[in-house]
Structures are given as C-alpha cells and as structure tokens.
Amino acid sequence: MKKSEPTILVVNDDGITAPGIKALMDTMAEIGRVVVVAPDSPQSGMGHAITIGKPLRLDSVEIYEGIEMYKCSGTPVDCVKLAVTKIFKGQKPDLCVSGINHGLNNSINILYSGTMSAAVEGAIESIPSIGFSLDDYSLHADFSHCLKFVKEIALQVLQNGLPTASLLNVNFPPGGGIKGIKICRQASAKWAEEFDERTDPYKRPYYWLTGVFQNNDHGEDTDVWALQHHYVSVVPVQFDMTAHHAIPVLNGWQFNV
C-alpha cells in the first residue's frame, strides 16, 4: 500500500441511504479512511450520464457517526468528479469502490449501470476502481455473505494495483455457500426489451420498460456462468471502447472520396 492507511472513496447509484452503500462503507472502514460521496436519490440506469445545464449541489451530511459523507444532487459520475475536484482537491484517493448495488451488473448491464459508470469514472481519473453488485434487488437485501470477498478484493487491488486504464466489475450470487472467485469475461448476453403500454387518467398512453434476459453465450468462462454456479464473478473491464480487431478490416475498405 502507498500509505499505512489508504483513503477510499465510496460511491453508488442507489442513493446515499441505500443499505448496499452502508455495507460497503463499513467494510472499507476496516481497511482505511472512508469518504462517501453518493447521490441524494436513486440513480439506477443512469450509465455515464453527467449533469450539464443545471447546478449541482454537494452537501455534507451526518448519517453515520465517524464517517465523512456528502450527498450530491447529480449522477454517480458527477459524484466522482466532484469528489476528486472539490473534496480531494486533486489529491486522488488510493481506491474508488462503487456499490454494493442492489441488483446484478453482469454482461451487457455494465453499459447501463450507474454503479459501474462511477467506477469507470474513477478509473478515468487514474484511481484503482472496483464496482460491486449483488443479485438481489430488494431494499432489504442481505450483503453479509459478500463482505469478506469485498474486503479481500479491495486489499488485493490496493496491494497490486490494476493494469493501466482498467477496473474490476465484481458480481455476487445471492445467499451463502459461495464456492470462490472466478476471473471471467463478460458474457455475450442482452435484454430483449418490451414496453408495457398503459393509459393514464387523461387517456394518454405511457410505457413501463420490461423485458427478458437472453443469454446465448454458453461458455464456462463468463460472468453469467460463474454466477449461475455460485461463484463471485470478477471481470476486468476498460473504458477504451475501440474495437481494435476491426481496424484491419476497415483499413481494407476503399473509400471513394
């Protein structure tokens, strides 16, 4: 570790009062000095959105004794940006952890996830970053079986660092009896969305997003497989979205201009 007591930024997308962030905050407090910056209300599905065109508010709050905490009126990514520039004032924390999310962020979900986008923003700021999620959407989700894994993974990142421009996406199956940790690739899976059309009292249509998760990737090295077989899935991800394998293909095109 860089210091005897590392500084750890804790963020999430479920809001500053969510049980998941309390579990993560308490676990990180066993490792180092914790600073919490989280949205003042749930921001699930916000992806990497940032607030433009309206003011952001960042207020110190005293929710749990002995923990430095701030609530932010913006998105999870806004929380990280404000933490780095206004709270840490450019002195980067040693670790950024996001979650623990109420619900999975495996496979394609990473693109929509506010939890993971906060961690991605940490990595963009060159902070070793991890997103944690649990396969339980309940407000009363039990995170206890995850915490020893959360702590160990965080300690490993603090000790060893992460490859440049990468971060970790960690997902937990529900319940006890976890068999171990699997380093995985992201499954090639997606949601088949549907929109349930309803009518409001003024006879105008409105829509609820629904859908079915479809996994046609039967590999045994994916995050979906690991979770289905009761392992913790750890997927190293990156924010460089270049499709490097496509560059030689496109270089073979003949542009007639």
* Structural domains of the chain, ranges and CATH numbers in brackets: 7-186+219-250 (3.40.1210.10)
| pLDDT 10s digits, 227-257 | 999 999 999 999 999 999 999 999 999 999 9
Residue 85: per-residue pLDDT: 96
Beta carbons of 171 and 133 less than 8 angstroms apart: yes
Residue 1: per-residue pLDDT: 40
Q: What is the mean pLDDT of the chain?
A: 94
Say which residues have a Cβ less than 8 Å from residue 37's Cβ, sequence separation at least 6.
9, 10, 11, 58, 69, 70, 72, 79, 80, 82, 83, 87
Q: Distance (Å, rounded) from C-alpha 85 to C-alpha 200?
A: 44
Q: Distance (Å, rounded) from C-alpha 9 to C-alpha 3?
A: 15
Q: Is 129 exposed, middle or buried (0-12, 13-18, 19+ CB in 10 A)?
A: buried
| pLDDT 10s digits, 153-210 | 999 999 999 999 999 999 999 988 999 999 999 999 888 888 999 999 999 999 998 8
| pLDDT 10s digits, 109-133 | 999 999 999 999 999 999 999 999 9
Residue 111: per-residue pLDDT: 92
